[in-house]
Amino acid sequence: MIYRRLLRPLLFRLDPDPAHRAAIAALTHGHRVLRTPAASRDPRLAQQVLGLHFPNPVGLAAGFDKLGTAVAAWPKIGFGFAEIGSVTAYPQPGNPPPRMFRLPADDALINRMGFNNDGSSRTAGRLLVAKRRGRIGEIPLGVNIGKSKITPADQAAGDYVASLEALWPVADYVVVNVSSPNTPGLRDLQESSALAEIVRALQEVNVRRSELEQQPARPILVKIAPDLSDAQADAVVDLALELGIEGMVVCNTTLSRDGLRSDRAITTEVGGLSGRPLAARSTELVRRVSRRGGEALVVIGVGGIFSAEDAWQKITAGASLVQLYTGLVYEGPGLVARICEGLLARVQRAGMTSIADAVGAEN
């Protein structure tokens, strides 16, 4: 309530880019005053997934904390895991502003940020310091890697490999982002031979580092676009199974503008659309991927989650974990606790003992 009545109107008076920077700065410096909500640590929401302990299934989606500066705040808000990035091998400024747009009539955002980040080496350095200071480790930390804009598509694998080499020590799991619409040609990497080359190269690094450092290999997941046809999505799942990828993040933002209420002046902005209009397609894709992938693939469901009911739909469609971004912008940080409370109520109502029982229950 405080967020919607007080903070959101203030933040929404700013342009989205500075508003986002203000939110990140407040979380980076203010995490000490936050108290982890009780529901978010209820054992009935905890799961062992990807060989990691998740205190609850609600995570921060990639793109909100691209640099990993606010990592200490995410468990305090109640998140069960957080994904930083996308990080690229080379530092890059991203697209010029304006590059993020609010569509309040649709509970949506359009963005063409273009992977603004300070590169994998600096990000790894910052996270190593955070780790030494005990600021990460309470919840699993995912690292989402993308391709630098200056790297040609046929050298993409090397770019992803450089990022994995740098970030390996701090990543609990790794997401290969081949689905952002804002790097020219990136989504073409979802095609089988290109994706296989990238994943094989990453797996090689993973095995080598794991043996060298005497630590478990990092689970590798692939993040896909909602605009893939069903046949294309099936092909990615089959490839994931063939390569032994641990999971898929379903899904990134969409290029579709179907059914929007907002003014054309905004809906025609170039970029990826996120939020409520993405929810149905995302859930449909979660169901498809989890049915085809079966036990072998962990699905992280993301797209248009604004409530416990939205999260429950993705989980019962087959997502072991869920993530949010746009919901956080519209509903504020209290949304995470509300989703955890609502999920607990649903687990109880369904006569289940744990959220794990709900995964794929409607499949």
Ligand X SMILES: Cc1cc2nc3c(=O)[nH]c(=O)nc-3n(C[C@H](O)[C@H](O)[C@H](O)COP(=O)(O)O)c2cc1C
CA pair distance 12, 240, nearest whole angstrom: 40
CA pair distance 59, 331, nearest whole angstrom: 15
Q: Where are the beta strands (DSSP E) in the chain?
A: 47-49, 52-54, 58-60, 81-87, 100-103, 108-111, 141-145, 173-177, 220-224, 247-250, 272-275, 298-302, 321-324
Least distance from ligand X to the Cβ atom of residue 133, Å? 25
Q: Looking at 301, 303, 332, 360, which residue binds ligand X (CB under 6 A)? A: 303
Q: Looking at 88, 180, 183, 313, which residue binds ligand X (CB under 6 A)? A: 180
Least distance from ligand X to the Cβ atom of residue 189, Å? 13
Does 326 interact with ligand X (rule: CB under 6 A)? Answer: yes
CA pair distance 69, 257, nearest whole angstrom: 32
Q: Dihedral sign, CA of 317, 320, 326, 328?
A: positive
Residue 180 designated active-site: yes
Does 88 interact with ligand X (rule: CB under 6 A)? Answer: no
Least distance from ligand X to the Cβ atom of residue 272, Å? 7
> Which is closer to ligand X, CB of 58 or CB of 73?
58
Number of residues counted as binding ligand X (CB under 6 A)? 28
CA pair distance 147, 163, nearest whole angstrom: 9
CA pair distance 71, 141, nearest whole angstrom: 8
Does 116 interact with ligand X (rule: CB under 6 A)? Answer: no
Does 144 interact with ligand X (rule: CB under 6 A)? Answer: yes
Least distance from ligand X to the Cβ atom of residue 69, Å? 14
Does 61 interact with ligand X (rule: CB under 6 A)? Answer: yes
> Which residues are 321's β-sheet partners?
300
Q: List the catalytic residue out of 180, 282, 290, 320.
A: 180
Does 62 interact with ligand X (rule: CB under 6 A)? Answer: yes
Does 111 interact with ligand X (rule: CB under 6 A)? Answer: yes
Q: Residues of 330-360 as b/e, b for ≥16 C-beta within 10 angstroms?
A: bbbbbbbbbbbbbbbebbeeeeeeebbebbb
- Please return the burial class of 126, using the count of CB atoms within 10 Å of its CB with bins 0-12, 13-18 and 19+: middle
Does 301 interact with ligand X (rule: CB under 6 A)? Answer: no
**Which residue's Cβ has the minimum distance to ligand X?**
63
Q: Which of 63, 24, 41 is nearest to 253 (CA)?
A: 63
Residues between 224 and 283 that touch ligand X (CB under 6 A) = 252-253, 274-275, 278
> Which is closer to ligand X, CB of 91 or CB of 352?
91
**Which residues bind to ligand X, rule: CB under 6 A?**
61-63, 66, 85-86, 100, 109, 111, 113, 115, 144, 177, 180, 223, 252-253, 274-275, 278, 302-305, 324-327
Q: Which residues are catalytic?
A: 180
